[in-house]
Amino acid sequence: MAQVIRLIVEASDGEKEGGDVATEYVTQGQRIARARHRKGWDQATLAEKIGRSVSWLSKVENGRLPLDRMSVVGQLAEVLGVEVAELTGQPYRHETTELDSGHAAVPELRLALQQASLPSGVMLRATREPRSLQELEANVRLAEQLRQDAKFTALGEVLPSILTDLIAITNDSSADRDRAEALMLRACHMARVSSNLLGHHDLGWTAVQRELVAAQRVGAPDLVAAASWDLCGVWLHEAQLDPAKDAALSALDQIEPHVGTDDTIKAMWGALHLRAAVAYSRLWDQREAESHLEEARRVAEVLPRDGNVFQTQFNQVNTTIHAVEVSMELGRPRDVISRAEHVEIAQIASSERQAHYWTCTAAGYHMNRKDNEAADALLRADRIAPQHVRNRPLVRNIVRDLRDSGKLHRQREILNLAKVMRLL
């Protein structure tokens, strides 16, 4: 590991000198230390402000203790007065188009979302006639499958043009605007997911704003719920936990009168409870987190096992995946593993959700200091959805730690993963 250490030291030295730094070699701990220095604080000051020991903070900053929970990263970002992305180092770029996970499409996606957010009637001159709504509905369904398959490079190749066509149609007074706005909401959801995954959080916010406009224009309770669900998602990615929690609770109040009307609203009711559960877990409120989980379980029992209303994958299996995540965020590693053992992961038709499950399970094993099991789970997640896994800060932190273990049964595979993630 001498080469790794040399690269990290050189990156740190370059940072001090104001030179260009290969950001892949700057650890999250070094980023925390940099933000702390900017505040003029010593380790004791920051440790006191976050309720941790100086020893714990020293290990984090020196890379000897990985941050395996977004709740902790969010707390540090808030206290240090920085955005989460400054501590995670996102976005991460890769050396091949396939692994770049859609980054190459971001400029075109950004332009499309900027146009979509302009006041009605204001847009750039169209270069071609838009596709019909019927054709666009088929294209959106295909794109949604790419999103569930975590094939973000392929999604990035088709999504900007879908958005551009929908902009033209929603500005056409003769078109079926409600139908077009519903499709716009679904397309912007995919833009939001891609943007947040890749670390372009400002773009995620632009996407969800357009979703909220679409829901408001149509006025349907299911669209309002879907847009609110995504709003929670944006704030969770930015570690804005109180706004995320409040958005979920407000949306639940708003749709409650309609819950008995159809299964779509019931599914959104359950999905919003899962959002609330995650928010409360990151706020370290176990009672509220478990209460929202229980309500989601109750609803899921009466809905289809393969439910995926508005790309929420709200179904029984996904509620059990969320239970694993909640235990992870609450810092209860034994519960992570015990809950993971009861997840029927093969029963959910989403590579993204499967990879998320294995990633959370890996974090649980890592917390329990069962590094071989953590490596197995992480490598399994990477086989299922590499474009999802390799863009996650949590994964990068665990890979960095496992990389230096030297005791793993699958050490070579972990080193190969570290290499393709540019962590070696």
Indicate the residue type of 253. Answer: D
46 and 79 Cβ atoms separated by less than 8 Å:
yes
DSSP state of 348: S
Q: Would you state the pLDDT for residue 239?
A: 86
- 199: tokens are 């670390």
Global pTM value: 0.86
Dist CA 375 CA 372 (whole Å): 5
Other CB atoms within 10 Å distance of the CB of residue 280: 25
Q: Around 28, how many Cα atoms within 13 Å sit in the side-chain half-sphere?
A: 31
Indicate the residue type of 170.
T
Are 189 and 134 in contact by the 8 Å Cβ rule? The answer is no
Walk me through the domains of the chain, giving residue ranges and CATH numbers: 25-94 (1.10.260.40), 96-219 (no CATH), 221-349 (1.25.40.10), 350-424 (no CATH)
Alpha carbons 215 and 302: distance in angstroms, whole number:
26
Predicted local distance difference test score (pLDDT) of residue 123: 54
Chunked mean pLDDT (size 10), the chain, 424 residues: 35 36 66 88 87 87 77 84 82 74 88 85 67 96 96 94 93 86 97 93 94 95 97 92 95 94 94 98 96 98 95 97 96 95 96 97 93 96 95 89 87 92 84
Q: How far apart are CA 42 and CA 65, in angstroms?
A: 19
